[in-house]
Structure 1
Amino acid sequence: MKQRETFASRLGFILVSAGCAIGLGNVWKFPYICGQYGGAAFIVIYLVFLAILGLPILVCEFTIGRASRGSMAVALDTLEKKGTRWHRLKWGCMAGSYLLMMFYTLVGGWMLCYMWKYVSGQIVGLDTVQIAGSFSDMLQSPVQMTGWMIAAVVISFGICALGLQNGVEKITK
């Protein structure tokens, strides 16, 4: 059996975990919406509930991962007591992972598209209305969106193919 890779440093683990936990929504859309609608009070409440609800879930996820040394697809099979039905939850975990992957590859494609448009000078000097129009044009082009999504998937597979330490951890740092 092949030895599982581990993180090379604690900092690498923390950065990868933070990247997974924070997500694009908290970095990209959430501050924009709060700024647009004046939601400073909402941010305080959000952070309190994030700590109350998010930390226990994070601890459970780390505990299951450390104890099973496997993905959720095998963790519940490995850890459950005989005669229980906890293993059935793995299907929900796997479905959630696929749904998140679909969302993040699409949004990752949008980010690659905007990065290309910026580097190539297509959106440099445009105002917010014109940039929003550029986004609408992209949304109306399934071929363009699919191409950028495939590029995001290929880049992600490339990083993952390099392994945990040389790929994911190094890119995150």
Structure 2
Amino acid sequence: MRSLGSAFAASAKEARDPANLAFMEFANMSTITKSLPLFLAAVILLASAGTTFAAKSAEPTCCAPEPPKPCCYEPCFRYKTHRLAKKACPCDCCGPTEAILQVTDPRCNCYVDVPVCIPSCCEGVPCIESRCGLFNRGIVEYEWCCGFKVKVVFKNHGKVDVHYYGL
């Protein structure tokens, strides 16, 4: 049996051995890499619990979207009619019906009253798609069941293009 002094000297000698030193560093890295995902999971869990608590304690009125306001600029309308090879409106309509669409500009959440002419056969509520396009343009499309479509394009400086498809 070895004495305590010789065991200490042997362990100090092993600690200075480069191969043993590399093994000890690998063992330390192994424990870090094993515990790191567990630590990250705990941080993510605590962060999500904090946001859930904050969402529950917030007033429901703060999250409601604001209703659109009238636009502060005077719009300048330009109308374009795109005739299709196949007429989108299949019936022979008596004549167009004048209407005013209250179109919300998707860029700034304000609305503009747009006077349009729609075929008299277009009844009901149209499908509405709204998006922001290239070059800071707001695009709103209205499409009725009969196939008639109105596209309103908001441009800079109050210019508004109204495109008719299917007349």
* TM-score when normalising by structure 2: 0.22
Structure having the higher helix fraction is 1
Bigger CA radius of gyration: 2
Indicate the structure whose relative CO is greater, using CA pairs within 8 Å and at least 6 residues apart: 1
* TM-score when normalising by structure 1: 0.22
